[in-house]
């Protein structure tokens, strides 16, 4: 039995890799590739008549496998299926770090899941509030309700768009420049930032089109996403490269954070670094840069 620490609501999530919860060979060590979060899938990857079997596999995987620092999220079946309640029970009982709500369309959907999670936490003696939530927006309605969804619960750490279903609804297909989803991505990002939670882009499914994948990752970074969902370990490295801060950004962040701590000790709230005025508003960003730098092997100091 592997005890997992209490999940951290706002941790580093550059990469979230989907894995079929029903495949023992896949889930046993998905963490070796250095992904930030793995997403064990009870939904689309699992055939309708194997939903029960997948839960037994998932339960024992969660209880037995040492995932280390890798976050373990489970994608549960949609609220319009007969499966989601048992999915939530097994996630909570097994100690998953978080649950991804598929096809989320309203704040009410989040609250429905939250209530079931709370009930399960009580049933299995799990610390209340431990299990985090994220929502997948897969429809125009979900995108239009993005803000209320993002702000629906203290358990919500992030929101992601699911490109496959969304594009079908919009009667479009993947475009090289991302024009097909640019508005939806933008609206979701704004909602997530307004609610103060993280925001993740959809998967890129054509594994043979590395160039297209890389272009999309660069666009994700430019738009301000926190990370991206992936379908194959070979996609991890490029995302981590693109999402890594520059050496200059790291040194600047280091200066800001250490100067802030020194000045705060002296009672000063506003000061200058390299001639630029700095106050407390700069600190969360600088600390985030340092945490990211540490994950990328670029920072070994003790400021974060």
Q: Is 29 in the site for other proteins (CB under 8 A)?
A: yes
CB of residue 126 to other proteins, shortest distance in Å: 10
Among 81, 232, 258, 263, binds other proteins (CB under 8 A): 232
Q: Does 33 bind other proteins (CB under 8 A)?
A: yes
Helix axes 51-64 and 84-94, enclosed angle (nearest 10) = 10
Total residues found in the chain within this entry: 304
Provide, rounded to whole angstroms, the least separation between the CB of residue 102 and other proteins: 19
Using CB under 8 A, pick the residue from 6, 64, 168, 241 that binds other proteins. 64
Min CB(15)–other proteins separation in Å: 13
Look at residue 38 and give its three-state secondary structure.
strand
Q: Environment class of residue 122 by beta-carbon count within 10 Å: exposed (0-12), middle (13-18) or buried (19+)?
A: exposed
CA distances from 99 to 38, 78, 165, 257, 279 (A): 11, 12, 19, 33, 36
CB of 166 to other proteins, least distance (A): 27
301: contact with other proteins by CB under 8 A? no
Is 129 a residue that touches other proteins (CB under 8 A)? no
* Of 63 and 261, CB closest to other proteins: 63
Establish if 141 lies at the interface with other proteins (CB under 8 A): no
The answer to whether 28 contacts other proteins (rule: CB under 8 A) is: yes
Task: Count other C-beta atoms under 10 Å from residue 195's C-beta.
Answer: 18
Q: Does 154 bind other proteins (CB under 8 A)?
A: no
Smallest gap from residue 190 Cβ to other proteins (A): 35
Task: Return the number of the residue (121 or 138) whose C-beta is nearest other proteins.
Answer: 121
59 binds other proteins (CB under 8 A): yes
Dump the DSSP string for 120-180.
Answer: HHHHTTPPTT-SEEEEEE-SHHHHHTHHHHHTS-TTEEEEEE-HHHHHHHTT----TT-TT
In this structure, what DSSP letter does residue 79 have?
A: T
Q: Which of residues 37-56 bind other proteins (CB under 8 A)?
A: 51-53, 55-56
Which stretch in 26-34, 110-118, 198-206, 257-265 sits in contact with other proteins by CB under 8 A?
26-34
Which residues ranging from 77 to 96 are in contact with other proteins (CB under 8 A)? 82, 85-86, 89-90, 93-94
Q: Is 70 in the site for other proteins (CB under 8 A)?
A: no
Q: Which of 37, 57, 198, 252 binds other proteins (CB under 8 A)?
A: 57
**Does 190 sit near other proteins (CB under 8 A)?**
no
- Per CB under 8 A, residues contacting other proteins are 23-25, 28-29, 32-33, 51-53, 55-57, 59-61, 63-66, 82, 85-86, 89-90, 93-94, 124, 232-234
């Amino acid at each position: 039995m592997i005890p997992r620490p209490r999940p951290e609501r706002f941790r580093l999530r550059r990469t979230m890799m989907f894995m079929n919860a029903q495949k023992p060979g896949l889930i046993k060590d998905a963490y070796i590739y250095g992904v930030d979060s793995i997403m064990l899938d009870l939904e689309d990857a699992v055939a309708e008549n194997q939903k029960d079997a997948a839960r037994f596999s998932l339960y024992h995987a969660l209880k037995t496998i040492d995932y280390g620092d890798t976050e373990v999220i489970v994608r549960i079946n949609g609220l319009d299926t007969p499966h989601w309640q048992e999915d939530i029970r097994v996630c909570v009982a097994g100690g998953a770090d978080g649950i991804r709500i598929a096809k989320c369309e309203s704040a009410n959907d989040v609250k429905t899941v939250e209530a079931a999670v709370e009930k399960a936490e009580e049933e299995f003696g799990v610390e209340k509030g431990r299990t985090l939530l994220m929502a997948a927006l897969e429809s125009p309605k979900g995108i239009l309700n993005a803000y209320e969804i993002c702000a629906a619960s203290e358990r919500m750490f992030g929101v992601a768009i699911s490109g496959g279903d969304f594009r079908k609804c919009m009667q479009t297909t993947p475009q090289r420049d991302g024009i097909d989803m640019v508005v939806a991505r933008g609206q979701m990002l704004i909602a997530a930032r307004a609610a103060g939670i993280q925001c993740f882009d959809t998967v890129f499914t054509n594994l043979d089109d590395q160039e297209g994948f890389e272009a999309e990752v660069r666009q994700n970074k430019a738009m301000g996403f926190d990370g991206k969902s992936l379908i194959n370990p070979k996609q991890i490295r490029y995302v981590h490269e693109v999402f890594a801060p520059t050496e200059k950004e790291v040194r600047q962040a280091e200066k800001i954070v250490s100067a802030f701590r020194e000045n705060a000790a002296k009672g000063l709230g506003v000061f200058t670094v390299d001639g630029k005025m700095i106050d407390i508003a700069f600190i969360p960003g600088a600390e985030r840069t340092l945490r990211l730098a540490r994950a990328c092997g670029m920072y070994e100091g003790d400021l974060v």
